[in-house]
Chain A
Amino acid sequence: MEWKNVIEIVESILPGETVLVKYTTSYIPEFLLRFFIDYTGEKNIPLIIDDDFDTLYTILAHAKHINLTINLDRDNVHVLKTGGQFEVGNVVAKVPFDPDSRVYLANYAEASAKVYQRTQSPAINLVLGLEELFLSTTNPLDAYQTVLRIQKFVGNKKRKSFYIINEDVMKNLPIKVLGELERISTTVIRLIPYHTGADLKVLKSVNPHLIETETTIDIEGWD
């Protein structure tokens, strides 16, 4: 697998940035997780994974099915879990989901602040399963409370965040917030899958050098 161009993009992302990574149905999340684990492991950067509603467990099950090795058991990987019942990786905080977004978001803010306090900055934060958080917020006000919370994290230099989002899922939910997520993000990346890889394009970036950058990730010879 050739990730050189992706590494260049990730390294151009500034501390504090919120990056939206859009994809459609494929094994893209599995390969991205593998990439971020390898990358942060080699550079010894803390990786904080937001695992919402057992998405991490789902990704690991898929990876096993396609014989893709993913080893979460590393000192630099920490998991911040929301909802769900299957714990995988080093879970450092658990936030029970509450349909009242104010309750949930307050709990989340408290738990995440503790996690970031303990880790060296800037960490890489990978957010998985956010779509299901929006499925679970049943009125527009709750959905917007969540959007506003995400917005408040923009500029927080303790981390660079990558939100891995299935855009078809977001477009098919009753409350549409994908546009808002694109607005508040400092960088928006789109990945279009093909049978053995994906085409990447930077659609938006606060960094002029990144705008319209395109590359291809081919997973030839994965293991």
Chain B
Amino acid sequence: MESLKTTIIAKNNLDLMFDHVQHGGIEIIENSTPLGVEFALHSIIEYSRHKGIPLIVEDIFDTLAVYLSHLNFMGINFEDSDIKVIKVSGGQEVGKVLARIRFENNPYVYRKKIDQELDRVIPEGKYIHLVLGLERLISLQNDPHTVRAILSLMKEKLSEERGMSIYIIEKSLVENLPLNPLPLMENVATSVIELTGEKRELIKIRLKKSRLALLAHTEYLFISPREVLRWWG
């Protein structure tokens, strides 16, 4: 892990970082920085393309479209085939939509449908399952029943070795809810990283609960989207 001791992460190290979490399990990426989600999403798409691991986005209430349109302004476009999508309600279709399911008041029914679609879309081999827009669902159904369902379904995914689940959460959208599920979700997740700030075009990553922090003996990493993803290039 010598190469990760530098706190500024270059492109090949970003792959290394993902390789480290690519053991199944659940990763939460919390964002509290202006372009953090765009950065995380772009990195995940690049990694999936580069490694040939299919990416399936669970796109709740049109959240994917938000970030793709921002990236588009920055001159970054993707082929629809790069992003396979399971739409959960909403009508703004981006990426390659493989399935549409309706928003369900019963979170267990909802999750069962998602799992069925995941099994259908990727019957075998590795995959990355990215959940976007969970904040919207939690804001609309801010009750213990929904949170319990999210937690128990996360627990069921803990031993999934084939695929990794990534939840990207905009922290400011959940932390003031009467029931903020984020700390509970952090407890269940295998790893938690937080995008905490931008400093002269660098994104600061806090390894809040991460194997990488133990191995690299560091809590913070810096990464330059300009260098790694050729933003503003």
Residues on A lying within 8 angstroms of B by beta carbon are 25-27, 53-54, 57-58, 61-62, 65-66, 85-86, 131-132, 135-136, 138, 166, 168-169, 171-174, 194-196, 219, 222
Contact = CB atoms under 8 A, between A and B. Distances in A.
Q: Contact size class for B?
A: 20 to 34
Contacts of A58: 155, 158, 187-188
Interface string B16-46: 0000000101000000000000000000000
A128 to B, nearest CB: 10
Interface string B154-186: 010011000000000000000100111111101
A86 B155 contact: yes
A57 B152 CA distance: 12
Interface of B: 23, 25, 144, 147-148, 151-152, 155, 158-159, 175, 178-184, 186-188, 190-192, 207-209, 211, 213-214, 217-219
Nearest to A167: B183
A171 B155 CA distance: 22
A216 to B, nearest CB: 15
A131 B187 contact: yes
23 contacts: A25-B187, A25-B192, A25-B209, A26-B208, A53-B151, A54-B152, A61-B158, A61-B190, A62-B190, A65-B25, A65-B190, A65-B191, A131-B187, A132-B184, A135-B144, A135-B147, A166-B186, A166-B187, A172-B175, A172-B182, A172-B184, A195-B214, A222-B214
Contact of A138 (B144, B175, B188): B144
Contacts of A195: 207, 213-214, 217-219
A133 to B, nearest CB: 11
A166 B182 CA distance: 12
B73 to A, nearest CB: 34
Given A25-B209, A26-B209, A169-B187, A66 B179 contact: no
Nearest to A27: B209
B217 A25 contact: no
Contact of A61 (B159, B186, B192): B159
Contacts of B144: 135-136, 138, 174
Contacts of A168: 183, 186
Contacts of B219: 194-195
Most B-side CB within 10 Å, residue of A132, A136, A172:
A172
Contacts of B23: 65
Nearest to B181: A172
A169 B183 contact: yes
Contact of A196 (B152, B159, B208, B214): B214
Given A54-B155, A196-B214, A172 B180 contact: yes
Ordered nearest first, which 3 A-B pairs have the shortest CB separation?
A: A168-B183, A172-B180, A195-B219
